[in-house]
Amino acid sequence: MPNKQMNNVDIINAMKESSVLVVGDIMLDRFVYGSVDRISPESPVPVLSVKRENVMLGGAGNTLSNLRHLGAQGKILSVVGDDIVGKQITELAQNQNIDVSGLIASKDRSSIVKTRFLAGHQQLLRSDYEQTEDISSELADDLLGRLNELLDGVKVIILSDYGKGVLSNKIIKSIIDVASKREILVLVDPKGKDYSIYAGADIVTPNKNELSEATGGMAVDSDEQVVSAAQNLVSNSGIKAVIATRSKDGISVIQDQGTTHIRSACDIEVFDVSGAGDTVIATIAAALAAGFDIIMAASLANIAGSIVVSKVGTAPIRAQELIEALHNQDVQTETNRPSISRTRQAPVLAHDAAREEILRWKARGLKVGFTNGCFDILHYGHVTYLNDARHKCDRLIIGLNSDSSVRVLKGETRPVHDENSRAAVLAALGSVDMVVLFGAKQAGDDNTACELLNHLQPDIYFKGGDYTIDQIPEAPTVQSYGGIVDVMPVYEGHSTTNSIKKMVSN
């Protein structure tokens, strides 16, 4: 078993060695974004003017995404339709390096799609295209026939039950029996009220409401009530242990060896709980597969869950986020003295992490601005321009040209300072709230910020110079999603090129 005193990076690295099989209902989550400016003349309903669409793995697929973003090896045993959506699901899984050899395309079933229509951050409607009856006996036999091929190296199986027909009683019992013989742990993300169908499973992970429903409406408001309900569930269902997720009250682990209540380290700003259960069970599974005990696994899952509920929409936990959260928790527990912070450093984020942070800002009603540049040698013109831009928005993001991008723009002698140094200097400015790297890797590649802007979708795009909007290559991208382009004045006589010329001449 790994040492509990391992540092935070070692903990995550241990989880990267783990292999987990997810069995259950995989589906496609589709998000349609737009704006509402009028009511339909045909009936009193809003008209959504569609701007863009996103698709991602849903259901058991979201559990897989969480496993992969933690670095664990993920495998799937499930059924999709032999249709376009089924191909999309398979491609999305393959793009995350998920083993899809256990994903069966059936001509007798349709793939499941959940489509959410949103105006801004307000969900207007959700449509579900699905079949919920149990899969056929022939299809069940086909799934079970592939089970043994997938179990090599697997330490934990997750039964991800969304009640869409893959986890029939036959499938559940057969998998638990096989896992027991091979000493593989079985975790269940449950559905419904009758947990006896999961008899023999090692751990079940209900939330408070599910725990109450599964025990005939028992109260679950206090520690004692949760323990009582969980013990009732264990004795009546044949499941060995319960890990109950309790929102702001953390996680409770109830097993034969006793009970442990794991509290959240700090207050959590909750934006969206969708997908949090998938994150929790994926983290528990990855930790158990890495050899950690159930308490350590639940503690990691509690932190991971608190991170994802602060995101907007369904988004997985990332290994780096968990490392940082563990580090922050260590710092908080090592000192009880209040300290005065005399430093400020904005984060330097990858594109997906940056988008998640922007969605959080927008959900608070904050106006997000963006500008981009090389910022090779920071000077008065840069600082004044950034301060002016920050006065026009609540949060300012810098799109920073990478080293290869600067070379394409300025020649082989540039940049003077590498991208990490430039990012660190910008991040220390009071006007800057985030830095994101972008740009071409070689000549001929797109070296504009268009792709990054389309991904992040800030409210305002600031551009410095004597341009008209139609001369700015990024303007059509910004305008396509409803953003504003603001051309800002430049400060004559201040430029990195002039600074270098002065240094050379002196």
Q: Report the amino acid identity of residue 139.
A: L
**Alpha carbon distances (Å) from 226 to 104, 247, 254:** 39, 13, 9
Residue 135 carries which DSSP code?
P
Angle at 361 between CA 318 and CA 450, to 5 degrees: 80
Q: Report phi then psi at 169, rounded to 5.
A: -55, -40
From CA 181, how far away is CA 459, in angstroms rounded?
56
In angstroms, the CA 440 to CA 449 distance is: 10
Cβ proximity of 371 and 461 under 8 Å: yes
The one-letter code for the residue type at 170 is K
Catalytic residue among 29, 189, 202, 278: 278
Catalytic residue at 278? yes
Contacts of 272 (CB under 8 A, 6+ apart): 309, 311, 312, 313, 314
Q: Which residues of 193-230 are buried (b: 16+ CB within 10 A; e: fewer)?
A: eebebbebbbbbbbbbebbbbbbeebebeeeeebbbbb
State which H helix or E strand residue 361 sits in.
helix 351-363
Q: Where are the alpha helices (H) located in 249-341, listed in sequence order?
A: 276-289, 294-308, 319-334
Query: What is the SS3 assignment for 275-286?
Result: CHHHHHHHHHHH
Catalytic residues: 278
